[in-house]
């Protein structure tokens, strides 16, 4: 990744009136993706232009899924730029406002605080309550704020992964296609170090770091998605693994640190609730009222052979966390027996390794 990319307060221009030359953030994309971002025209139309030879890369015929590289010139039909400009002018502006791309960053809500960057990969501290993507009942989201602030960027900065709406903390955003693809590959391979902190109900019973294992399945309940623990042999069951370490233990609540070994929807919330220690403020898997503060925070994300991004939660009072805890190591920890049931299993000191990590 290049270190010359602009910081997350700027956006390189990529107007449709310019010669369509592939910029570094766009490199590696499929041609159709490149054209859709630059022209904002229907995919079927762009596909037809490519198929009939009206679009060429460096003067040569190409296919819709050909990959574009930095410096490539993309020849378009002579009427393409005019159509794109007409499409932009016909797009509805926000209610009560005239559409002005140059002022988009000033008119939109602010981006979350930036906690670090490495090349085209940025880390933000997402506040609790801000969803990553827009959805029913809420238009404001991290994605829409990025789109507003970088309306003229050659590649729209894109969240690499998800955090629940109520979860705060570190979230990665890619400002180039290559950064997005590379980081998502690492996430799928479970080579990204992701740690959370959470306040849970009751006294956490284990002094040692525990390996927590369940099998989870998504289900639809009253029209809403819910994740449930199921038997290992159940249809669509997926193994969920994490390491849990107590940081502070009390009779009514305990602070725990969690390192994910797999990435399942609502994994931490479901697994801790299944052990009888739901996350405080969790109305879906616990006993909290709707709208309560969810005490779950993305504390640390470290890429393989890359930097680590960290930020502390903004919790106050008895729930405050003022010092960054050390990371939970994955090597030289005892592995659970292959036939062990679901639950939490304290790890010994016999220098074994956790087999799922390999």
Question: Could you list the active site residues?
Answer: 164
Token pair 């919330």: residue: 269
* 3-state SS class at 152: coil
Radius of gyration of the chain (CA): 23
**Dist CA 323 CA 218 (whole Å):** 35
Q: Please name the residue ranges forming H helices in the chain.
A: 31-39, 43-51, 80-90, 104-107, 142-149, 177-188, 267-274
**Helix pair 31-39, 80-90: axis angle to 10 deg:** 60
Calculate ∠ Cα 285-210-335, nearest 5°. 125
Torsional class of 59: left (φ above 0), alpha (ψ -120 to 50), beta (otherwise): left
């Amino acid at each position: 990744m290049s270190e010359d990319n602009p910081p997350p307060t700027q956006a390189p221009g990529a107007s449709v009136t310019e010669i369509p030359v592939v910029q570094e953030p766009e490199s590696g994309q499929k041609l159709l993706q490149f054209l859709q971002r630059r022209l904002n025209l229907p995919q079927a139309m762009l596909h037809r232009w490519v198929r009939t030879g009206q679009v060429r890369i460096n003067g040569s015929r190409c296919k819709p899924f050909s990959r574009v590289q930095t410096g490539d010139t993309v020849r378009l039909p002579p009427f393409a730029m005019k159509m794109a400009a007409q499409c932009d002018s016909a797009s509805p502006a926000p209610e009560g406002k005239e559409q002005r791309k140059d002022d988009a960053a000033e008119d939109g809500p602010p981006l979350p605080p930036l906690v670090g960057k490495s090349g085209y990969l940025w880390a933000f501290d997402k506040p609790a309550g801000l969803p990553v993507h827009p959805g029913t009942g809420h238009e404001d989201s991290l994605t829409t704020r990025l789109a507003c602030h970088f309306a003229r960027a050659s590649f729209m900065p894109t969240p690499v992964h998800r955090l629940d709406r109520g979860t705060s903390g570190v979230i990665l955003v890619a400002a180039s296609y290559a950064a997005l693809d590379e980081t998502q590959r690492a996430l799928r391979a479970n080579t990204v170090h992701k740690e959370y902190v959470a306040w849970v109900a009751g006294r956490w019973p284990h002094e040692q770091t525990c390996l927590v294992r369940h099998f989870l399945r998504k289900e639809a309940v009253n029209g809403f998605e819910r994740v449930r623990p199921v038997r290992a042999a159940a249809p669509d069951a997926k193994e969920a693994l994490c390491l849990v370490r107590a940081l502070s233990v009390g009779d009514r609540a305990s602070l725990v640190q969690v390192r994910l070994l797999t990435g399942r929807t609502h994994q931490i919330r479901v697994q801790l609730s299944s052990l009888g220690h739901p996350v405080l403020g969790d109305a879906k898997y616990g006993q909290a009222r709707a709208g309560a503060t969810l005490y779950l925070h993305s504390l640390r994300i470290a890429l393989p052979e890359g930097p680590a991004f960290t930020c502390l939660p903004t919790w106050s009072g008895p729930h405050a966390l003022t010092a960054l805890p050390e990371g939970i190591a994955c090597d030289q920890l005892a592995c659970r027996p292959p036939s062990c049931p679901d639950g939490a299993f304290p790890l010994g000191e016999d220098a074994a390794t956790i087999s799922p990590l390999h």
